Structure 1
Amino acid sequence: MVATENSHKHPTLPEVVDELKKISDIGFPIAAMSLVAYLKNMVLVVCMGRLGSLELAGGALAIGLTNITGYSVLSGLAMGMESICGQAFGSRNHSIASLTLKRTILMLLLASLPISLFWANLEPLMLYLHQNPEITQVASLYCKFAIPDLVANSILHPLRIYLRSKGTTWPLMWCTLASILLHIPITITLAFTLGYGIPGIAISMFITNFNTLIFISCYMYYKRMPEEPLHTPLITLDNISTTTTTKTLKYSLGKEWIILLKLAIPSCLGVCLEWWWYEFMTLLTGYLQKPQAALATSAIVIQTTSLMYTIPTALSASVSTRVGNELGAGRPNRARLSTIVAVGLALFSSLFGLLWTTLGREVWGRVFTNDNEVLELTMRVLPIIGVCELANCPQTTSCGILRGSARPSIGAWINFYSFYLVGAPLAVVLAFVWRLGFVGLCYGLLGAQIACVVSILIVVYKTDWGIEFLKAEDLVGKSKISTSEECAHAHEDQAVKCEEGFLKEKQVLLDCDPESEI
């Protein structure tokens, strides 16, 4: 039986190689998309800089605010559907995945309403907090024109996860690349040719995301497949009485929404807690003795970590898909193999980040600045950031494992205590009590990453994949793959029995008449 599969069987070399190919096939396009998104943000910053120093300062503040209060929330909430869709596609219960996609889009659109109100009324709040009026005016202007982008992201994030859960990532990459190629001329035209400035840059953002959405929607339309019926539906009109139909349907819908929210909210917290910590570090940097050099170095560090984050993001997404698919298909042993291979890849790839930030720190620092003070501080902290990457890459990858096995709440709790109960106090003590300055803040980040990776790897190591399979079966229903395999085995056994009966009959005839032909 599938449920009793030996999840502690040692994988063979061909199995490991096959798993490497599957993870790479899913992860490479995701890494490429992350790199393209990084370049898109660089284009925005460069264009803001060309408009002037005030526009650059206000635009940078706006980008930080939109990331913290909007994009991180939508991205995190959307990740709640990864567990359900990954396991649903693995079990071939496509209707569950489709319903989850629709519910997630609705959930994100509803979440966008309070975010939109906040962005629309940002200027009075920032002035109340005694922020610079001119910078605040530019930032609030950007946020107001970026509100339509919330609608685009509310649909785009779930569609990406839906396709990624099927292992369909190459079309996502080409759709994203096509929209980014249009993004550059659109941004230049709106910001400079038409003279819209900061509003033009904000408008170009949501036009680019809507273009991506259109390309993906066209792909899904032409590649659409008829939805398969649920193998084990939670409710059918045939097996409940007429008097209780409405009540039971409402209960079922409510239960399904609760399941989605239980996965979405912890996923959102897990993403936001880590994103917010970098903003917390930037805030503390402003209170150091030499804040100007420290803030400039902080900007370089954030750009560096954002670039290095492309590989962990790709590994996290690909292993989440692989683990979810295999658990849904009733193959816990393959889910365990995906986990081992992904963590191994994470540890290996993190070495390149360490080498880059150690051996190439001066060259990389000069890409951003020629200021000797900033460059010297950057060269001191980049090796620390490289060591952070040794922990960050397997930690981010392991978060994908937890999402694929429908356990995002564990990752959220680990992120909370690692970054805010370990990292934050350590950063404050080292930076302000021991007076290590910005270097102390980076050591605080390192402490948080070490606590996080140790905790999450222990959780992954102690996972009972047989139990996780049973949870997946309860979440998305019994796998149709396992059912078809059982039928195939049954037919195979019947054929063997028929053949054995024929051979016995043939032997009896030969014993009676050795010269007969059969």
Structure 2
Amino acid sequence: MESVQDNNLNQPLVQSKRPVGEVVSSELEEALSDTSLSSSSRLRLATWIELKILFKLAAPAIIVYLLNNVISMSTQIFCGHLGNLELAASSLANNGIQLLAYGVMLGMGSAVETLCGQAYGAHKYDMLGIYMQRSTILLMATGIPLMFIYIFSKPILILLGESKSVASASALFVYGLIPQIFAYAANFPIQKFLQAQSIVNPSAYISGAALVVHLFLTWLVLYKFGWGLLGAALVLSFSWWIIVIAQFVYILTKCKKTWNGFSIRAFHGLWDFLKLSTASAVMLCLETWYFQILVLVAGNLPNPEIALDSLAICSTILSWVFMIAVGFNAAASVRVSNELGAGHPKSAAFAVVVVTVSSTIISIIFAILTMVLRHQISYAFTGGSAVADAVSDLAPVLAISLVLNGIQPVLSGVAVGCGWQAFVAYVNVGCYYVVGIPLGTVLGFTFNLGAKGIWSGMLGGTLMQTIILLWVTIRTDWNKEVEIAQSRLSRWEERKEEKLLNE
């Protein structure tokens, strides 16, 4: 796991924003160490400094993730108004099958973050395009076996215990998502290529425009042409290709320094790049698949349509709010790695407190809104009163999940900044797959608690993981983490120079 740790210690924002970061980091460290100020004055000054840094980092990431998530969520909403079966099918396809490809592609694409960031920091601008192409080649190749999973999704879902009606409808939707696999394969390397140069706003603008087009085309295909689930899925795939093509056009027109055209060099060193990409995907996939299993297990309950519909609505809300936590996750990893690399243990520790408290406050607000609107939430997705009652029953579990998801991703970001990926991977396996899933299965089926029991048990796994990460973070010796981080960075710097020279 050393390669994964090294990979995440050098986040692109740290690389490309280093001169600015050093100035701000010194200001924060000085504020925390200024004994001429009272404790309350130091706290207010340091909090103001850190909040400005935090939200400049988190806001762009939140916007991009939210817009991309809304594109998928809007498709489920449109399908939900066609009927309960259509909502169940689209949610099972999106949350059960599509997340498999999303997790694998996003995880593997994360390798580009470090490599492009290193090349950009070393002024090896021509290497950014090579790394992006190399990652795209590997992700496109990975998309082929994933495509066969999509093609045979119906028998796979039936084998997993889904009803034939839901499996057939879901498979129809999944067939339309096959082009989306390869859109992911192109999108994530492009996205990381741009982020390595701190180019974030264009991606947000493109995602916003794609959402507008997507909403119009989905309405047209479903309500004017009557193409049903397959048409809705094809529009979703098309919308992702709009994002890919628009971002690539931006690269061709604006990134003259870092894009020098297609090169045969992209096919060199693919094996080492594959190992790095695979390692980068492990931690993310363990977490992504956990919630995917929640939907799949619920499909085996009596009256699976109502169970899946209610879980789909709650999962969609959870994933939407989760995008905010993902932005704070990115900010946490950047802030911690930045401060540790700069040799500022006080700033690193303080950044952890500020980002965790900020994310938790926001998640609590959403949890309260969920409880207040528990009887009305489902009507944004479907009109059935049975589904509304089921969602209302799940609302307390959803509210608790929202709060935990305001804390857990931030702590994972701290772990990435410190280089604890191997440890967190083991924690994820134990808490999610040894405790959470078996406990949820027992509560849901043995004790006949249904969807609420399944989710409650799996929520127990998330709670256990959060407590472990929180305990480890509280007990962290930040002076020691500074020494470890600087030692790793020195070793990686030597490897980076050697690799760049070899290229």
Normalized against structure 2, the TM-score is what? Answer: 0.76
Which residue is 1:364 aligned to? Answer: 377
The CA deviation at 1:200 is 2.8
SS in 2 for 1:168: coil
1:477-504 CA-to-partner distances (Å, cap 9, x unmatched) read: 5999xxxxxxxxxxxxxxxxxxxxxxxx
- Aligned CA distance change for structure 1 residues 202 and 104 (closer, same or farther; 3 Å): same
1:123 touches 1:136 (CA, 8 Å); kept in 2? yes
Give the letter for the 1:387 counterpart: I
Which residue is 1:107 aligned to? Answer: 138
Per mean C-alpha deviation after superposition, the further-off stretch among 81-90 and 141-150 is 81-90
> Does residue 160 of the first structure (1) align with residue 191 of the second (2)?
yes
1:297 touches 1:374 (CA, 8 Å); kept in 2? yes
Rounded Cα–Cα distance in structure 1 between residues aligned with 2:300 and 2:156: 22
- Aligned CA distance change for structure 1 residues 344 and 429 (closer, same or farther; 3 Å): same
1:359-381 CA-to-partner distances (Å, cap 9, x unmatched) read: 33233355456666554443343
Q: Where does 1:134-283 land on structure 2 (aligned, <5 Å)?
A: 135-191=166-222, 193-194=224-225, 196-224=227-255, 226=257, 258=272, 261=274, 264-283=277-296
Which residue is 1:35 aligned to? Answer: 66
Give the letter for the 1:172 counterpart: S
Rounded Cα–Cα distance in structure 2 between residues aligned with 1:287 and 1:138: 16
Rounded Cα–Cα distance in structure 2 between residues aligned with 1:18 and 1:90: 25
2:206 touches 2:243 (CA, 8 Å); kept in 1? yes
> Does residue 412 of the first structure (1) align with residue 425 of the second (2)?
yes
> Does residue 470 of the first structure (1) align with residue 482 of the second (2)?
no
The CA deviation at 1:50 is 5.5
Q: Where does 1:453-492 land on structure 2 (aligned, <5 Å)?
A: 453-461=466-474, 462=476, 464-477=481-494
1:79 touches 1:161 (CA, 8 Å); kept in 2? yes
> Does residue 391 of the first structure (1) align with residue 422 of the second (2)?
no
Q: CA RMSD, aligned part only?
A: 3.8
Rounded Cα–Cα distance in structure 2 between residues aligned with 1:42 and 1:475: 40
SS in 1 for 2:376: helix
Q: Where does 1:369-384 land on structure 2 (aligned, <5 Å)?
A: 374-384=387-397
Give the letter for the 1:168 counterpart: I
SS in 1 for 2:255: coil
Q: Where does 1:253-402 land on structure 2 (aligned, <5 Å)?
A: 258=272, 261=274, 264-288=277-301, 291=304, 293-324=306-337, 335-368=348-381, 374-402=387-415
Per mean C-alpha deviation after superposition, the further-off stretch among 212-221 and 9-18 is 9-18
The CA deviation at 1:149 is 1.9
2:397 touches 2:456 (CA, 8 Å); kept in 1? yes
1:100-151 CA-to-partner distances (Å, cap 9, x unmatched) read: 4333222212211211232234445556668655654544344334322222
Give the letter for the 1:69 counterpart: L
Q: Where does 1:3-22 land on structure 2 (aligned, <5 Å)?
A: 10=32, 13-22=44-53
The CA deviation at 1:308 is 1.7
Give the letter for the 2:189 counterpart: P
- Aligned CA distance change for structure 1 residues 141 and 443 (closer, same or farther; 3 Å): closer
1:80 touches 1:261 (CA, 8 Å); kept in 2? no
Unaligned runs of 5+ in 2: 1-21, 34-41, 260-264, 498-503
The CA deviation at 1:315 is 0.9
Which residue is 1:510 aligned to? Answer: none
1:215-246 CA-to-partner distances (Å, cap 9, x unmatched) read: 22233334326359xxxxxxxxxxxxxxxxxx
2:72 touches 2:236 (CA, 8 Å); kept in 1? no
- Aligned CA distance change for structure 1 residues 209 and 453 (closer, same or farther; 3 Å): same
- % identity of equivalent residues: 24
- Aligned CA distance change for structure 1 residues 204 and 345 (closer, same or farther; 3 Å): same
Which residue is 2:7 aligned to? Answer: none
Give the letter for the 1:342 counterpart: V
SS in 2 for 1:362: coil
SS in 1 for 2:375: helix
Per mean C-alpha deviation after superposition, the further-off stretch among 322-331 and 354-363 is 322-331
- Aligned CA distance change for structure 1 residues 302 and 106 (closer, same or farther; 3 Å): same
Rounded Cα–Cα distance in structure 1 between residues aligned with 2:134 and 2:148: 22
Rounded Cα–Cα distance in structure 2 between residues aligned with 1:183 and 1:41: 10
Q: How many residues align?
A: 451
Which residue is 1:424 aligned to? Answer: 437
- Aligned CA distance change for structure 1 residues 143 and 283 (closer, same or farther; 3 Å): closer
SS in 1 for 2:54: helix
Which residue is 2:463 aligned to? Answer: 450
- Aligned CA distance change for structure 1 residues 441 and 49 (closer, same or farther; 3 Å): closer
2:336 touches 2:417 (CA, 8 Å); kept in 1? yes
The CA deviation at 1:467 is 1.2
Rounded Cα–Cα distance in structure 1 between residues aligned with 2:285 and 2:135: 18
SS in 1 for 2:249: helix
SS in 2 for 1:309: helix
- Aligned CA distance change for structure 1 residues 315 and 77 (closer, same or farther; 3 Å): same
Rounded Cα–Cα distance in structure 1 between residues aligned with 2:163 and 2:175: 18
The CA deviation at 1:419 is 1.1
Larger Rg: 1
1:53-73 CA-to-partner distances (Å, cap 9, x unmatched) read: 655554444334432432221
Rounded Cα–Cα distance in structure 2 between residues aligned with 1:323 and 1:281: 32
Which residue is 1:511 aligned to? Answer: none
- Aligned CA distance change for structure 1 residues 375 and 87 (closer, same or farther; 3 Å): same
Per mean C-alpha deviation after superposition, the further-off stretch among 419-428 and 77-86 is 77-86
1:333 touches 1:465 (CA, 8 Å); kept in 2? no
SS in 1 for 2:181: helix
Rounded Cα–Cα distance in structure 1 between residues aligned with 2:235 and 2:276: 33
